[in-house]
Amino acid sequence: MDVRQLLENTLPGLGYELVDCELTPGGGIRVFMDKQGGVTVEDCVSVSNHMTRLFMVENIDYSRLEVSSPGLDRPLKKEADFVRFAGQLAKLRTRLPVDGQKKFTGRLIGVENGVLSLEVEGRMVAIELTNIDKARLEPEF
């Protein structure tokens, strides 16, 4: 079974959202998860123990398992992420230029019909979600 699919099926039942999953050189698996109110060390330990047993049952071979929160600069991967974090500051890079640029820092306004509205320095920029190469929240202190 695909590791990502297994995580997507398992984590919600434990009360977590899969943010991202990476396979590391040497056969390791890195899991980034989130939940309302944030992820604690105890959450990571609990999920790590659960996934270790599950991977054994599913016969998934790995050398190392890392489970953590996505951090303050959480990646935005799905449309639901852009909706959930509306009003927050984000940095993103597009695949193709939009208004002559590929890198943006601005406030997430919302998503409609697959198009993100981003407020950048007082102006609105419309970016198709399919054109976003990489996006992360920008922590504000």
pLDDT tens-place string over residues 65-91: 999 999 999 999 999 999 999 999 999
Share of the chain above pLDDT 90, in %: 91
- pTM (predicted TM-score): 0.83
103 with 56, same domain: the answer is: no
87 with 43, same domain: the answer is: no
Does residue 1 have a pLDDT over 70? no
| Residue 28 placed within a domain | yes
Question: What is the Cβ-side half-sphere exposure of residue 6, based on CA atoms within 13 angstroms?
Answer: 17
91-123 per-position pLDDT tens digit: 999 999 999 999 999 999 999 999 999 999 999
Query: Which pLDDT score, from 0 to 100, does residue 68 have?
Result: 96
Residue 16's nearest CA partner among 42, 134, 1 is 42
Domain of 46?
3-68
d(CA 2, CA 49): 19
Both tokens assigned to 60: 């998934």
51 with 85, same domain: the answer is: no
Both tokens assigned to 110: 């919302």
Query: Which residues, in sequence order, are bridge partners of residue 120?
Result: 123
* Cβ count within 10 A of residue 106: 21
